[in-house]
Amino acid sequence: MDDACSRPTLMPLDLLREITNGFSEERRLGSGSFGKVYEGVLQDGKKIAVKMLYDMPGLDDEQFKNEFKNLTWLRHQNIVRLVGYCYDIQEIQVMHEGRLILAERTHRALCLEYMSKGSLENYLSDECDRYDWHTGYGIINGICKGLKYLHNELEPPIYHLDLKPANVLLDENMVPRIADFGMSRLFTDEQTRATRSSLGTFGYLPPEYIHNNLISNKFDIFSLGVVIIKIMAGRAGYFNSAEMPSREFTDLVQEKWTTKLLETFNLRKAYSAQVRICIKIALSCVQEDRHKRPTIQDIVDRLNNTVAKCTDAARMDWFLIYQDSLGHLTQPGNISNLHCEQETPSKNNPSPSYDMEADKNIFPRYAQDPIDKHVNHIYHGSTFNQDTATIIHSTCFEENASPTKAVLDGDSPNDNQEYSADGNSLPGVEGFQISGDPKPGSTLRACGFSINGTTVCHIQWVHYLKDGTRHSIEGATTSDYVVTADDVDTLLAVDCTPMDDNGRQGNLVMEFANNANKITCDPELQNDVNICISRGRADFDVFVLMYSPEEWEHATLVLRRTGYQVNLSRKDEILIDEKYSPNVQIKIPIGRTTQFILVSSRGVNLPFNTQGITEPSTEDNDIRLRDLTVLVFRAFQNKTPLSSLVLPKETDAISFAKEKNIDDIPSS
């Protein structure tokens, strides 16, 4: 009986009498339409709830057995679990036509897991002061998930038909469990039709049932709406909602709960928005037209979305607090040049400038590779100005956004808008999201809907590192961003600050890539890196930019555990041969998908290019070779331990070397 996956146990009537103290009134927990519930204490001290069904005419044995068989398989964290049952037939003496005769009496009981906190009904009050918002939301979310299980994950589905606070039980952690579901299914069809007018509880019955005896899955949705309103607005909340305009009622409930929130800034705003969405869901559930009510899947999806936003807000506050404690709190840069558009960096149209230190460059300017189809502009040695923000016209968000959520009960993007001191709504972005595969070489795109007159947006891609620090990615100031080896093992995010033509600035919107998980290599690329490190040396064919703007020369970049060499193929000349040191760096310029910069220990910048090196020469292969070279270089420089590697077989290493154009891989 302790195993949550075990089948319910047959329990004799005498045992039930014993553990309930003879079904005494002291042990009675409550009663419902079909029976009384008693507290039972087993020999090991554990408690169960024993529901003795009334001996009612019309209860069909075969129907009971068939429906009971369905109930035994219900397994969900938000459904009260059936742990045992009783089906006992006893002979009793009854008076019949003036004399005693023997007759059979059937005792039926369902034994359920015991919920120590009782029913939700005990916690409702007009002040809603018996639980905080986190507990209240957990109850709402749990009820919805349990109902989704009954409606969508069972075949045939089960309609509860009497969902109300008294039938929502709470465990010791205030986790809700739906009870008494589908009890009307235990009766024959004739009895069900005859008693339909008494199904459910007044106040939770939908109009179509009251007027036309119509039962559908929207029956439970209406009852759910009433329950949520009572959780959020108290016992009288449903009647108040009917007397007030929906917007006014929503504002009132949101304000009441928001004043109780003690969270940090962004998290408090996210929870306040969650409150508003929950009450709007509830109001959409109690619409008179059942066709306008949402499905339980719509509701659960909407709730899950609020949880994701609260998680992002909590992470944002944590980073800001951490940075502030270190004195690294980043303030938004000054906004300038409101109508300046810049090209979007991508594989086919990269940004026109390197983010390198021009004063250390040994060349007068960076040259365009005549065979590089990605480059359409002359390179400029420049340093990104942190005080100058790049502005992207907001129309790029509108065109690229792809909303996926249905609007519930007239919900609109403006419901959670912010207001300026003069009462006018501030510029904003709704549905902000990142699309694309978050792997090195792939392009991510930040997009959303502009609202409240937003015409331009300040975009900045950022890294969150292991120590909690936040670094803006220099030059990454357009909506498209190509993931590189620089992003591996970091949290990648994008900041968006909306503005309008009057220069008014809205609140910062932030979104994490990869579902707020660290960027990682794909397994094949990581395996390639491990092979190179395990061999202790890797030779990469590359192009290096030499003494004139268009002079790219073929070279070999030799990487070893202790240092590196740059060998010019045409002259058989060693250009650089040195050991790794803290001054040696390898950088990836924004928008240059096949290029990287090697900064020597003397501060010399050498641009490299893998465009056209691979065989077969494809854009993806060239990008992959660039990222592989950078990752192997950094692994050797950082002294990656061999014990951390998952090494391939020898034959795999040899075939890999041939495929990736890596020479001189020594044997073991």
Instruction: Give every CB contact of residue 383 below 8 A, 6+ residues apart in sequence.
Output: 355, 356, 357, 358
| Angstrom distance (rounded) from CA 642 to CA 536 | 10
| 340, 444, 559 from 400: Cα distances, Å | 20, 12, 42
| Angstrom distance (rounded) from CA 606 to CA 584 | 11
Contact by Cβ (8 Å): 435, 444: yes
Angle value at C-alpha 130, between 129 and 132, nearest 5 degrees: 75
In single-letter form, the type of residue at position 420 comes to S
Instruction: Give every CB contact of residue 244 below 8 A, 6+ residues apart in sequence.
Output: 252
Angle value at C-alpha 393, between 390 and 395, nearest 5 degrees: 150
Dihedral sign, Cα of residue 363, residue 369, residue 372, residue 373: positive
| Angstrom distance (rounded) from CA 606 to CA 598 | 5
Listed residue (89, 51, 92, 80) closest to 186, CA to CA: 51
DSSP character for 144? H
For residue 364, say if its preceding peptide bond is cis, omega within 30 degrees of 0: no
Listed residue (152, 121, 112, 160) closest to 139, CA to CA: 121
Contact by Cβ (8 Å): 463, 474: no
In single-letter form, the type of residue at position 337 comes to N
User: Which residues are known to be catalytic?
Assistant: 162
280 known member of a binding site:
no
Contact by Cβ (8 Å): 245, 210: no
For residue 413, how far is the Cα from the chain centroid?
20
Q: Which residues are annotated as a binding site for ATP?
A: 51
Q: Which residues are annotated as a binding site?
A: 51
